[in-house]
Amino acid sequence: MYKIIIPILFVLAFNGCASNDDADSLGFAIYTQEGMLIDMSKFDGCGWVLEYYNNSKHYLEPNNISAFENVISDSTYVVVRYSKSDSKSQCMLGDVVTFYDIEKIEQ
């Protein structure tokens, strides 16, 4: 009986140590989204948002967009890698997120 249980436990113990390419170093899930950057600063409490469509219009509100000033401009199509944030929304449009990477899409 032990000859069967010990190898199974060994496999389960080391299988849990595999790296996950879809998580950052702290274990947060990393998502990818394509969309358009929109400057919503004319509205009270808003700044830059990422507008995208998934059967209907949705928004992501980045909390660190200033780190990507060399990439951002209004109505620019981009692909972003992000994780969800626990921060509260100022603009009340969508989920607050932390961007890890932004890449322009040539139209």
The residue-averaged pLDDT of 15-21 equals 35
Beta carbons within 8 Å of 100's beta carbon, 6+ residues apart = 24, 30, 80, 81, 82, 83
Cα–Cα distance for residue pair 75/87, rounded to 1 Å:
25
Give dist(CA 53, CA 41) in Å, integer.
21
Enter the pTM of the model: 0.71
Output the pLDDT for position 15: 36
26-64 pLDDT per residue, tens: 677 999 999 999 999 888 878 999 999 989 999 999 999
Percent of the chain whose predicted confidence (pLDDT) is above 90: 43
